[in-house]
Structure 1
C-alpha cells in the first residue's frame, strides 16, 4: 500500500494530465490555480457537483488529486516548504497539509472542499496568492474577479430518454 506522500506525487501527475486532456495547461505557477477555480466554477452549482460533469463521479479522489496539485504548486514556489501527512489518519487525504519554512500551515484538501461548497469567496487562486505573496511578490491577477461572469456552470445532462 502506498503512502500518502507517494499518492500525492502520483495524483499530482494525474491532475496535470487530466486537465491537459481538456486543453488546460497546469504549470505549477500560482497563476495556474486560476484554472482550478475555472474548472470548479464550470462543474459545480450551488455548492454541489453538476450531474454528468467532471466532478459528478469519484469526487473524493478528484478532490485529493487537485489538492495534491495545489500543495505541490505551493511547495515549488515557496522555498523550505514540505508536505505534512499522516498515513494513520482515516481522513488523511483531506488532512494533507503544506508547511512553509516560516511555520505557516495550510490544508489544500480542506480548502478545495470549501471552494466547492462556498464558491468563489473561497477561491483557490486568492488562497495560493496570499500564501505566496511575500515570497513571490507577484501582482494579483484581477481576472479572478471575472470568473463568475466568464464561466457559467455547465447544464446538467439529461438522460436521452427525457425530452
Structure 2
C-alpha cells in the first residue's frame, strides 16, 4: 500500500526532471527522458565514487548501491544528514538509472520511455535482450522503503530471466 509520503516522493522525482526536458523559447528541441537516463546514471556514479562507493558500471557494482542503501537509510527512511537526506527524488531516479544502465550494458537491451507520461521518470522500463522487462526506478524506490527489497537479488533475477 502506498502512503501519502511515498506519493510526495514520486512527485519530487517528476518535478525534478520534467523541467529539464521541457522546451523553452530558446531551445530548439525538448530533451528526451531517453537522453536523461545515461546522464543521471553517470552523475550518481560520480557522486557515489566521491563518497567511497565502488561503482563502475560493472555487474558487481549493484552490490555497492545496495551497501549505499544499508548505510544511508534506516527503517525505510534516509538517515538525517546522510547522502540521500536531501533531493531524495532526483537521487532515487539517478540510482534507478544507474542500476538499469548496469543491467543494460551487461545484458543488452533498451529503455522504454514515454515523454508524454507525467510520471515517465518513474515508469521508465528497461527491456533486456532476453525479453525480460524491469522497472529500475520503481525498484530503488521500493528499496528505500524496505531492506528486504535487496537490489543484488533483484538484479540476479533479471539476469536469470
In 2, are the aligned partners of 1:93 and 1:109 still within 8 Å (CA)? yes
Q: Identify which of 86, 98, 117 aligns with 1:69.
A: 98
In the superposition, the TM-score normalised over structure 1's length comes to 0.77
Q: Identify which of 130, 133, 136 aligns with 2:157.
A: 130
Q: What's 2:63 paired with?
A: 34
In the superposition, the TM-score normalised over structure 2's length comes to 0.78
| CA–CA separation in structure 2 for the residues paired with 1:24 and 1:40 | 11
Deviations 1:1-43 (A, max 9, x none): 3211111111111011101111222122221101011101111
Misfit runs of 4+, over 6 Å:
none
Unaligned stretches of 5+ in structure 2?
A: 1-20, 22-30
Deviation at 1:90, TM superposition (A): 1.1
In 1, are the aligned partners of 2:53 and 2:68 still within 8 Å (CA)? no
Q: How much is the aligned-residue C-alpha RMSD, in angstroms?
A: 1.2
In 2, are the aligned partners of 1:16 and 1:26 still within 8 Å (CA)? yes
In 1, are the aligned partners of 2:110 and 2:126 still within 8 Å (CA)? yes
**More divergent stretch after superposition (18-27 vs 35-44):** 18-27
Deviations 1:69-99 (A, max 9, x none): 11111101113x1100111111111111101
Unaligned stretches of 5+ in structure 1?
A: 135-163
Report matched runs for 1:51-90 at 5 Å.
51-79=80-108, 81-90=109-118
Which structure: larger Rg? 1
Q: What's 1:154 paired with?
A: none
**1:94 is the counterpart of 2:133:** no
| CA–CA separation in structure 1 for the residues paired with 2:150 and 2:58 | 16
**1:13 is the counterpart of 2:61:** no
Structure with greater contact order relative to length (CA < 8 Å, sep ≥ 6): 1
What is the number of residues matched between the two proteins? 132
